[in-house]
Amino acid sequence: MVTPYSEIEVTELTATELGLTAAEYAKIVEVLGRTPSYTELGVYSVMWSEHCSYKNSILQLKTLPRSGGRLLVEAGEENAGVVDMGGGYGVAFKIESHNHPSAVEPFQGAATGVGGILRDIFTMGARPIAALNSLRFGEPDTERTKYLVRGVVSGIGHYGNCFGVPTVAGEVYFDRCYTDNPLVNAMAVGVLRTDAMASATAEGVGNPVFIMGSSTGRDGIHGASLLASREFDSMTENMRPTVQVGDPFAEKLLLEASLELIAAKVVVGMQDMGAAGICCSSSEMSAKGNVGMKLNLDVVPLREADMSAYEIMLSESQERMLVVIEKGKESIAKTICDKWDVPFVEIGTVTDTLHVEVYRNEKLVSSIPAKSLVLGGDAPVYVREQTEPDYLKLTRKPIDKGATLNQDEFEKVLRKLLSAPTIASKRWIYEQYDSQVGANTIARWQGDAAVVRLKELPGKAVAVTTDCNSRYAYLNPYRGGMLAVAEAARNCVCVGAHPVAITNCLNFGNPYDPEVYWQFAEVIRGMGDMCRALDTPVTGGNVSFHNESQSHAIFPTPTIGMLGVIDDMSYVTGNTFTAEGNSVALIGWQQVELGGSEYMKTVKGRITGDAPEIIIENEVALQKAALLAIRGGYVSAAHDCAEGGLIVALAEMCFGSTVGCEIDIPFAHNVGELFGEAQSRIVLELSNKNIDSVKQICADHGVPFTLLGKTSGNTFIITELCNIEVQELASEYYNALPDILETVHA
Amino acid sequence: MNVGVVTFPGSNCDADARHAAALANADNGDVVHQLWHKDSVIPQGLDAIILPGGFSYGDYLRTGAIARFSPIMKEVIAFANNGGVVLGICNGFQILCESGLLPGALIRNENLKFVCKDVFLKVENTNTPFTNTVKKGSVLRMPVAHGDGRYTASEAEIILLEKNKQIVYRYVSQTGEKNAEANPNGSMHNIAGICNKDGNVMGLMPHPERASEALLGSADGFTVFTGLLAHFQRKQAQVVA
């Protein structure tokens, strides 16, 4: 057998410079039975990186419920999970992080994050119908954070708007822990015909392998292994060249050509090139199909002719696909790509060697068993040490929840909360996103979740949302995992959707830190418990470790993307008051809570206490009752109590229209009752004639029903506590973020 | 009515425009054609052509600047000059200005940011194939979604537009006032949509196709498509008579 040519001599030192451990290097030598070539070492270094191999997370991920319900494609099987919508259609959806690139270069980092997740969706044959995001930044009181916010938002807008996918929902939180390491999680949702789903599998010895889309350049080399798989330090600034540059126009053409290829039934398998480029797509497709591939890099369209095999294999240039075409149908495929002006070049063939063999300058430079590179093959799997973090001893000290407020104090707190960046209106951000292209967006920013109709299935729609309160996960990772799933489901329920499945983006610190790993394991345990209770299996997602700055880890941030199904669009319900003279009721369990609340953070300046309690059976009952009431047509508006608690939820319900309310809080007037963030609570607006019906539904499910007051006038009235014009509060709520972000300090 | 919607590389509202036109055609079963940017012929008997929104050719160089040179545009220009009805929505409006079928230009929004939100439009000229079913002075609700929508023209051009009643839509408040607050992009004189002197070519920045079903929040934009339908039905009736 020919030993692959190596540009430089490889040693253990070369391996550690690329981020591999000595033990991993020894394993590579053992698998190959020889010293790897430089190109091979590069391939292993990215394929065995945290980002591609999930080596430190997979054992935990496997504990999540990953099948059942309406799932057509289970987690890990394909690029994204697929949920059956009936009528021959399915919905594919997935969320992914692009945190480190966005910290280094916010505009391109965020833009290519959107581009990457869109490709994951359309490589399966699904046309993207919605994009969402979940963003975390430091407090917006430094110019650097404002620069990151502006850059990330315009990057997301630039890519999604030009590509032509509506960005319909998202969430943005601000907290000091994200100052150096912002989070950019992007989610995409697409619709496909279930009988025309494309698979990321290489099959059929002799079938040609094509590279499709943009040419390959030196951008993004080692994005996955070095930038994404380690912490920030003084060297990070030098890594800007590892951030890819996106071209949404090229992606739009790639989308149309890909969908046309799939519809023409010429595609055997297709995988997008994201992290680790050609090397990842070729090895994963080969391993999955139990075949090999022979690739000639000399014909890959390059941006710079002198690129080495190493650079070509690892390049993360965007807007590219690897496609296996059925032999004999090459010309049909070529015609389609020509029509869309998408470059389409044959670079190899499927073989029976089980090896990915790579040639450059007519020399064999890499010959690796495909299986040895991937998860489920020889890629390492680690059990990591866990320790309960020390900080919990401090944060778990009891906090005073009973302080009562007079009218002056109440108004001050209310205004402070409504203009807190995390609660304040995100209009400044979302108006920069095209939220309607596609003409399917039913509800955008006026519901607890976005609603997008499916033209293919008249009358049907999906609800989508992203949620995670990372303060809860920090104070109590197990509960935090449960709460993120519960809130996402509750948000779907509030618009009238039945929650069916989740995708998740797990953002954590360094997994080699036992305290971080304990957080990770606990969050997953919580997510799993809640997903099982709600029957919302996990369809996949991504893990982002090493989100740390030089001094600390971020809060554990398990972002949940939830998909809900709406079978009849007359169910769709908003979250703002619709008319005067209706009743306002709280359904669910009022509790005195204050731990981890926005009140504690904004007013008291501390992130402490325990995360709000959640009783699984109560949450399930609440969601069942709320959905029945909404689908019975008894509810005019529904809004769950989240950051800022009951009072902020009520105020927010006034802001979408000009309808105010008169509320008499039948609980003690202390901060824990008013601004505490007890879970399993939804505020409803219902016409008076429907009160009995909703009461009955709640009684049937053992869910408390409490009448709070009525909608009226244009004033926000809480008896004994507050009487302010809605307009005045709304202007504070809407202007807070623009005032912060448009002010530039020298 | 027999409508063709052009797909340029980077068009992303072409399917939406076809969808809205098909809804207008629901009762008569007429076809909506997809016209391809590389085509150098257009189907016989076409009543109207729509240039849809999107980012044709990535909007590289300048919005609409490259699309204007695509083969189909030669046909569109000839069609328009021959009295054919042409509607440009958003990027389509930009292409119409670049190709000289409409005066003026659409430049970067005043605040330099992309803007997507609902706006209100006052209909100032109802004597066009696009607005003939609307009462003059009506206020319509439609969304905008653009980064380069700030209508700009020389003072002389503006005077002519006003004189010839070529300003079809203006951004106004919900109650119909023309003020700076209602103007989402800094357009001169709050101009949202204009037509040529003969009224057969119109461009507008707002998206009527996204406001063509009550389900989507507004059906006010559908007036553009029903207006076209009424226009062609009237024309056909005249021919028959």
Domains of chain B: 3-240 (3.40.50.880)
Residue B108 · residue B171 · CB < 8 Å: no
For residue A189, pLDDT beyond 70: yes
A604 touches chain B (CB under 8 A): no
Q: Which helix (H) or strand (E) holds A412?
A: helix A407-418
Write the burial class of residue A625 (CB in 10 Å: 0-12 exposed, 13-18 middle, 19+ buried): buried
B39 touches chain A (CB under 8 A): no
Give the integer Cα–Cα distance in Å for A744 and A581. Answer: 44
Flag if B114 and A434 touch (Cβ within 8 Å): yes
SS (H, E, C) A503-522: EEEEECCCCCCHHHHHHHHH
The predicted pLDDT at position A199 comes to 93
| Those residues with Cβ within 8 angstroms of residue B218's Cβ, 6 or more apart along the chain or in another chain | B118, B140, B141, B142, B143, B211
The predicted pLDDT at position A237 comes to 56
The predicted pLDDT at position A551 comes to 77
The predicted pLDDT at position B124 comes to 97
Mean pLDDT check: name the lowest of A332-346, A387-401, A508-522: A387-401
Instruction: Extract the tokens encoding B181.
Output: 């607050």
Chain B residue numbers with beta carbons less than 8 Å from the beta carbon of A152 are none
Buried b (16+ CB within 10 A) or exposed e, B10-23: bbbbbbbbbbbbbb
| Those residues with Cβ within 8 angstroms of residue B214's Cβ, 6 or more apart along the chain or in another chain | none
Q: In 10 A of CB A578, how many CB atoms?
A: 16
Angle at A651 between CA A646 and CA A657, to 5 degrees: 140
The predicted pLDDT at position A744 comes to 67
Flag if B19 and A453 touch (Cβ within 8 Å): no
Q: Which helix (H) or strand (E) holds A315?
A: none
Q: Which CATH superfamily is domain A198-375 in?
A: PurM-like C-terminal domain (3.90.650.10)
- Which of the following is catalytic: B13, B75, B90, B146? B90
Angle at A576 between CA A573 and CA A582, to 5 degrees: 90
Confidence of residue A67 (pLDDT cuts 50, 70, 90): confident
pTM of the model: 0.95
pLDDT tens per residue across span B72-99: 999 999 999 999 999 999 999 999 999 9
Instruction: Extract the tokens encoding A18.
Output: 């690329």
Residue A162 · residue A115 · CB < 8 Å: no
Instruction: Extract the tokens encoding B167.
Output: 């300003």
Give the integer Cα–Cα distance in Å for A131 and A538. Answer: 19
pLDDT tens per residue across span B109-156: 999 999 999 999 999 999 999 999 999 999 999 999 999 999 999 999
Mean pLDDT check: name the lowest of A274-278, A372-376, B229-233: A274-278
Nearest CA in chain B to A129: B12
Residue A558 · residue A57 · CB < 8 Å: no
For residue A238, pLDDT beyond 60: no
Q: Tell me what the mean pLDDT of segment B176-199 comes to.
A: 98
Give the integer Cα–Cα distance in Å for B114 and B90. Answer: 13
Give the integer Cα–Cα distance in Å for A58 and A374. Answer: 12
Residue B49 · residue B84 · CB < 8 Å: yes
Torsion of CA A84, A86, A89, A91, to 10 degrees: -30
The predicted pLDDT at position A223 comes to 61
Residue A614 · residue A479 · CB < 8 Å: yes
**DSSP label at residue A433:** S
User: Which residues is A543 bridged to in the sheet?
Assistant: A506
- Which of the following is catalytic: A98, A355, A546, A701? A98
The predicted pLDDT at position A55 comes to 93
Q: Which helix (H) or strand (E) holds A662?
A: strand A661-663
Q: Tell me what the mean pLDDT of segment A269-277 comes to.
A: 89
Q: In 10 A of CB A31, how many CB atoms?
A: 17
Residue A664 · residue A721 · CB < 8 Å: no
B222 touches chain A (CB under 8 A): no
Three-state SS at A258: helix
The CATH 3.90.650.10 domain(s) of chain A lie at 198-375, 575-746
| Predicted ipTM beyond 0.85 | yes
Instruction: Extract the tokens encoding A450.
Output: 């976005």
Flag if A248 and B58 touch (Cβ within 8 Å): yes
Mean pLDDT check: name the lowest of A234-243, A463-472, A706-715, B102-111: A234-243
Flag if B113 and A441 touch (Cβ within 8 Å): no
Three-state SS at B236: helix
For residue A649, pLDDT beyond 70: yes
**DSSP label at residue A553:** B
Mean pLDDT check: name the lowest of A240-249, A290-299, A370-379: A240-249
CA distance B79 to chain A (A): 25
pLDDT tens per residue across span A495-507: 999 999 999 999 9
pLDDT tens per residue across span A17-59: 988 999 999 999 999 999 999 999 999 999 999 888 899 999 9
Q: Which CATH superfamily is domain A575-746 in?
A: PurM-like C-terminal domain (3.90.650.10)
Handedness of CA A708, A711, A717, A719 (dihedral sign): negative
Residue type, A491: N
For residue A244, pLDDT beyond 90: no
Three-state SS at A584: strand
Give the integer Cα–Cα distance in Å for A719 and A710. Answer: 12
Residue A484 · residue A557 · CB < 8 Å: no
Q: Which helix (H) or strand (E) holds B152?
A: strand B150-152
How many Å separate Cα A46 from the centre of its chain?
22
A133 touches chain B (CB under 8 A): no
Q: What percent of chain A has pLDDT over 90?
A: 87
pLDDT tens per residue across span A446-457: 789 999 999 999
Give the integer Cα–Cα distance in Å for A626 and A619. Answer: 10
A442 touches chain B (CB under 8 A): yes
Alpha helix ranges (H) inside chain B = 14-24, 71-81, 91-98, 155-163, 222-240
Is B207 catalytic? The answer is yes
| Those residues with Cβ within 8 angstroms of residue A551's Cβ, 6 or more apart along the chain or in another chain | none
Flag if A432 and B212 touch (Cβ within 8 Å): no
For residue A324, pLDDT beyond 60: yes
Handedness of CA B54, B58, B64, B66 (dihedral sign): negative
Is A222 catalytic? The answer is no
SS (H, E, C) B7-54: ECCCECCHHHHHHHHHHHCCCCCCCEEEEECCCCCCCCCCCEEEECCE
SS (H, E, C) A329-389: CHHHHHHHHHHCCCCEEEEEEEECCCEEEEEECCEEEEEEEHHHHCCCCCCCCCCCCCCCC
Residue A272 · residue A36 · CB < 8 Å: no
CA distance A515 to chain B (A): 42
**Testing the interface with B: which of A436, A441, A456, A735 to mutate, by most B Cβ within 10 A?**
A436
Instruction: Extract the tokens encoding A586.
Output: 């709280």
Residue A166 · residue A438 · CB < 8 Å: yes
Chain A residue numbers with beta carbons less than 8 Å from the beta carbon of B20 are 439
Q: Tell me what the mean pLDDT of segment A439-443 comes to.
A: 90
| Strand residue runs (E) in A175-302 | 183-193, 208-213, 267-272, 292-296
Task: Find the length of chain A.
Answer: 746
